[in-house]
Structure 1
Amino acid sequence: MDSSSPVTNCGPDKTLKRIVLFIAILAGFLTPFDGSAVNIALPTIGAEFSMDAISLSWIATAYLLASALFLVPFGRLADIYGRKKIFESGIAIFAISSLLMTLVPTTGSLIAIRVLQGLGGAMIYGTSMAILTGVFPPGERGRAIGLYVSFVYFGLSLGPFLGGILTSYLGWRSIFLVNVPIGLLAVILIRLKLKGEWTESKGEPFDIIGSVLYSLSLVAVMYGFSTLPHEGAMTLVIAGLILVTIFAWYESRASYPVLNARLFSGNRVFLFSNVAALINYSATFAVTFLLSLDLQYTKGFSPEHAGLILIAQPAVMALVSTLSGRLSDQIEPGKVASAGMAITTLGLFLLVFLTESTPLWYIIMSLLILGTGFGFFTSPNTNAIMSSVQKHDYGVASGTTSTMRLLGQMLSMGFTTMLFAIYIGPVEITQEYYPAFISCLQTGFTFFTILCGAGIFFSLIRGHMRENV
């Protein structure tokens, strides 16, 4: 840790902890709010730009791909040059790109600005959890992470509701204006309240070759996967997997790797907790996207009413996450997270039976169960990951954790995009395509249920966190 570290100068006292937690909460609210609010506005955006179902999915995928590309490299850069510096820059970029989103005139510019937002998001994701973990000791870490995750889910909760209202009355562009004052407030607080810097790996070189290999492999795999079953897509996926292998080989021999492979090979808790996170997000992220379209297309709800319905899942997540975070300070986190994964599987299974005539109460009940399961999974699983590594690896571990989340989200959207291509094709979703859309939903939720069920196994075999701390 750098001698100018805020922890060194001030000590990890209550005031510092509260300031760091509040700033992290602001950033934790910002990005999920944006994502969930955009989801509810997709039909309106699609109508303005005459976008088909596949193009609509790229509004989410472009952001996720950019975030995933830069997460691990920025996590490593934060450890070398300062977590606070990268964190503050990320919030500023996110806020500026949000302002630019209100001015986009074409589909191409919309996707391009979403990529810029993803870059800012990567800088936030790769540092916020590392800063929190560095300030809060193990006995308090689960509670802090639980509060942070609760506000992440508060952002997810408010996104559909407020996004629906804003879209209905002020237009979809107004959604992005909400990010600007929140981002400005966070930057001001960082400048005024956080002195010094966190630099656990100051002076170490940055692994440029490893970063390039990492980014190229992700682009190939994720873009190829999202364009299946079109010609050439599988070639891209295979090329990406080859690059992943080369990346792993190179990193295992690098003196200062961008991603420390030993974190996976020599740390069972870290490895299987990340695998469990990847599976969980792969199985759940597309749920809101799919249900947002279902509620507005086949059920005929307005964006405002659809957002109010979708608030059920993240609202429960926010309530449960604080409880589960505290539990993970007292009970083995893996056990709590595994129970959450099982409850999530049940919620996904209920959605398999959706039809055009499914009653609203059934959808809300499924969302409440999903929210409970996800809330019990995320905080304990994150606590297990961050507590299983040493301080100098906090930045990379934070970046890796967020990468698993984003990779899972991209796999979820990639699979969904593939289903759209198979069942519907490159056309706007109109009434004649509703039966095909419902079949797409049912197939997707069946796959997600099986995947999440398999994730319970990986969550259970991670071992005990406290043996690794």
Structure 2
Amino acid sequence: MSQSESTEYQSLLTTENVKPRRSCKDIYKPAGTSYPAFLPLIFFVLLSCYLDSTAMNLALPKIQEEFKIDGYISQWMITAYNLAIAATSIPLAKLADSMGQVSAMYLYLSCMAFGYVGIYFVKNFYAMCAIHFVIGSCFAGATAARMALIRQLSPPDKAQSYMMYTASICTGLSVILPFIASFIINVSWRLIFLICGVCALLSILTLIPYRNPPRKPQTKKCSVDLGGMLTIFIAAGALDLSFTFLSEPIYWLAGTLFAVSLLAFILFYFIELHASDPILPLILMRTPISQYSVLSAISAFVSSGFSYILPQYVAAHGNSSSFSGVVLSIQGAVSTLLTFAVPKITKRYLNKTVLVWSYLLSIIAFIVFVFSPEYFWWFIVMYIVCVLTFATPNFAIPPIMCCLVPVKYAASISAVPNTCRKLGTTISLSITSMIIKSCSQLFIKNGQSKINAFDHSMMIVISVYTALIIISLLFLMKTGQAANESHKKGFDPKKIKQLELEDEEIA
């Protein structure tokens, strides 16, 4: 941080401590906004997103029944949405930085509203997936713009807390939305799209008080890295399709797509390495952000797989989507209590310490959970326990990543956590559905009943999740401490790993 930036930072801290009276027009100036001012904007944007993702997951058994398709096909309704977010978060975030976050959100949210109204009337499953892909792209841009806007308008010493409070709102919504969505689905799962469209419109209204934060004059026009955007889409999409065809099974096509995915990832890396304006600024992916990116992707893999297997398990055991909704609401209520506690805990203890304990408890819970699928109520109880122990990484890691870089790079890094999470989500759904279908068929051939075969395949899925959490813990051990944690217990200046950049490094 330069001397001028340091002076500005101290000035902002002094202003925050004194709490002078501010006029209405000063509220939305950079580093001058309190968290309650963000609440209407945050609430309706998140409501649209979480209602969509929660309801579509609960509706998958209904979708499979209506379109006469298997689970490994129906999951593409969710995968298309998440794949779009993974592929477009960063380029649309860069576009938002060029346009201004507020102007970009007007554009993205308007497209979302039109998309939701249109998808309601479509009767073809694959056409619905295509429209859902477009909606996911718009939501990706809106989310990245929202995160950058909050970071730029927040007092410097409160930015991470504000982001964690936002995560708490997410968990709060997770309490009520599954319960509400399950009853809407029993009437018609398509109604979810109309309700999400209304939420998008309300989000647009909440933007009215905001203006684009002032930006430094740009020496060059914003360019979109089409090569990087195309290759990351091909890489992730081909990988998801490879697992889908592995479920058929069409091995030669699955193998070909896997090879295409690998080549596309390699090509993506070299394109980004030499691009003048890359969609993924590799300079920002230095340690420890690269390690937290892996943690974020694995965390999303496990969490998304969990959300997918619950309604599948409940339906296989003869219960309705309403029961799944009730379980998810209980899960959300328990997780909400934890999310309000973690920001207070991280004020006293290092981020790494809190995460390590979360992963250790998760490993223990998941090992017990492996043996629960054959006993319905024991499965439900352990499901809630595992979600509780694994709740911390989901909402703690993204704010940590965003606050590891100077505020002037907030727009550049804001989409990285979202991209990592969505890549993990899309791969999770494809792999989880593939394991369930393939293992169930194998167990049935060996003489097991359909329900026993399904339960044993669930044991394999949970074992995979347990192994991934152990891998996450190993990655976490390589991360260091941040300089802004000097006031916390256990801080050691020798273990600082802080990303510090100069202007010319990101030019």
TM-score surpassing 0.5?
A: yes
What secondary structure, in the 3-state scheme, does the structure 2 residue paired with 1:285 have?
helix
How many matched pairs?
Answer: 452
Q: Which structure would you say has the larger Rg?
A: 2
- Quote the Cα distance in structure 2 between the aligned partners of 1:393 and 1:179: 31
Q: Is 2:28–2:210's contact at 8 Å kept on the other side of the alignment?
A: no
Structure 2 residue 293 is matched with structure 1 residue 274: yes
Q: Which residue pairs with 1:384 in the alignment?
A: 400
Change beyond 3 A, Cα 1:336–1:219: same
Q: Is 1:346–1:369's contact at 8 Å kept on the other side of the alignment?
A: no
What secondary structure, in the 3-state scheme, does the structure 2 residue paired with 1:268 have?
coil
* AA aligned opposite 2:307: T
Structure 2 residue 233 is matched with structure 1 residue 237: no
Change beyond 3 A, Cα 1:96–1:158: farther
Q: Is 1:37–1:163's contact at 8 Å kept on the other side of the alignment?
A: yes
Give the Å deviation of 1:325.
2.7
Q: Which residue pairs with 1:151 in the alignment?
A: 169
Structure 2 residue 458 is matched with structure 1 residue 437: no
- Quote the Cα distance in structure 2 between the aligned partners of 1:152 and 1:324: 14
Structure 2 residue 479 is matched with structure 1 residue 458: no
User: TM-score of the superposition, structure 2-length normalised?
Assistant: 0.82
Structure 2 residue 429 is matched with structure 1 residue 417: no
Q: Is 1:200–1:391's contact at 8 Å kept on the other side of the alignment?
A: no
Structure 2 residue 70 is matched with structure 1 residue 52: yes
Q: Is 1:91–1:121's contact at 8 Å kept on the other side of the alignment?
A: yes
- Quote the Cα distance in structure 2 between the aligned partners of 1:94 and 1:217: 25
- Quote the Cα distance in structure 1 between the aligned partners of 2:413 and 2:240: 22
Q: Which residue pairs with 1:227 in the alignment?
A: 245
Counting only pairs closer than 5 Å after superposition, residues 306-455 of structure 1 correspond to structure 2 as: 306-356=324-374, 358-360=375-377, 362-424=378-440, 433-455=450-472
What secondary structure, in the 3-state scheme, does the structure 1 residue paired with 2:280 have?
coil
Q: For each residue in 1:306-356, what CA deviation from the matched residue of structure 2 results, as whole angstroms up to 9, or x when unmatched?
A: 210122223222222232134334432222223223333334333312334
Give the Å deviation of 1:198.
6.1
Q: Which residue pairs with 1:263 in the alignment?
A: 284
- Quote the Cα distance in structure 1 between the aligned partners of 2:152 and 2:389: 28
* AA aligned opposite 2:222: P
Give the Å deviation of 1:34.
1.4
Structure 2 residue 288 is matched with structure 1 residue 254: no
Structure 2 residue 135 is matched with structure 1 residue 117: yes
Q: Is 2:302–2:465's contact at 8 Å kept on the other side of the alignment?
A: yes
- Quote the Cα distance in structure 1 between the aligned partners of 2:157 and 2:333: 26
Q: For each residue in 1:9-44, what CA deviation from the matched residue of structure 2 results, as whole angstroms up to 9, or x when unmatched?
A: 7343245x4333431232123212211111112112
* Among 287, 300, 304, the residue aligned to 1:285: 304
Q: Is 1:101–1:113's contact at 8 Å kept on the other side of the alignment?
A: yes
Give the Å deviation of 1:432.
6.0
Q: For each residue in 1:385-404, what CA deviation from the matched residue of structure 2 results, as whole angstroms up to 9, or x when unmatched?
A: 01111234322312110011
Give the Å deviation of 1:131.
1.9
Moved more, 362-371 or 442-451: 362-371
- Quote the Cα distance in structure 2 between the aligned partners of 1:119 and 1:342: 35
Q: Is 1:324–1:375's contact at 8 Å kept on the other side of the alignment?
A: no
- Quote the Cα distance in structure 1 between the aligned partners of 2:370 and 2:153: 43
Q: What RMSD in Å do the two structures reach over aligned CA positions?
A: 2.6
- Quote the Cα distance in structure 1 between the aligned partners of 2:137 and 2:461: 29
Q: Which residue pairs with 2:188 in the alignment?
A: 171
Q: Is 1:328–1:383's contact at 8 Å kept on the other side of the alignment?
A: no
Structure 2 residue 178 is matched with structure 1 residue 160: yes
Report sequence identity in percent. Answer: 21
Gaps of at least 5 residues in structure 1 are 1-5, 426-430
User: TM-score of the superposition, structure 1-length normalised?
Assistant: 0.88
Give the Å deviation of 1:199.
4.9
Q: Is 1:29–1:153's contact at 8 Å kept on the other side of the alignment?
A: no
Give the Å deviation of 1:296.
2.1
Gaps of at least 5 residues in structure 2 are 1-24, 442-447, 484-495, 500-507
Q: For each residue in 1:358-382, what CA deviation from the matched residue of structure 2 results, as whole angstroms up to 9, or x when unmatched?
A: 142x234323323333332233322
What secondary structure, in the 3-state scheme, does the structure 2 residue paired with 1:462 have?
coil
* Among 181, 188, 198, the residue aligned to 2:205: 188
What secondary structure, in the 3-state scheme, does the structure 1 residue paired with 2:288 have?
helix
Structure with greater contact order relative to length (CA < 8 Å, sep ≥ 6) = 1
Q: Which residue pairs with 2:488 in the alignment?
A: none
Q: Is 2:242–2:255's contact at 8 Å kept on the other side of the alignment?
A: yes
Change beyond 3 A, Cα 1:275–1:319: same
Change beyond 3 A, Cα 1:320–1:22: farther
What secondary structure, in the 3-state scheme, does the structure 1 residue paired with 2:122 have?
coil
Moved more, 281-290 or 89-98: 89-98
* AA aligned opposite 1:410: T
Q: Which residue pairs with 2:21 in the alignment?
A: none
* AA aligned opposite 2:53: G
* AA aligned opposite 1:105: K
* AA aligned opposite 2:326: L
Change beyond 3 A, Cα 1:198–1:180: farther
Moved more, 272-281 or 192-201: 192-201
Q: Is 2:366–2:386's contact at 8 Å kept on the other side of the alignment?
A: yes
* AA aligned opposite 1:461: K
Structure 2 residue 51 is matched with structure 1 residue 30: no
- Quote the Cα distance in structure 1 between the aligned partners of 2:152 and 2:347: 16
- Quote the Cα distance in structure 2 between the aligned partners of 1:97 and 1:24: 20
Q: Is 2:32–2:155's contact at 8 Å kept on the other side of the alignment?
A: no
Q: Which residue pairs with 2:18 in the alignment?
A: none
Q: Which residue pairs with 1:428 in the alignment?
A: none
Moved more, 224-233 or 51-60: 224-233
What secondary structure, in the 3-state scheme, does the structure 1 residue paired with 2:346 have?
helix
Q: For each residue in 1:113-137, what CA deviation from the matched residue of structure 2 results, as whole angstroms up to 9, or x when unmatched?
A: 2212212221123222222222224
Q: Is 1:295–1:301's contact at 8 Å kept on the other side of the alignment?
A: yes
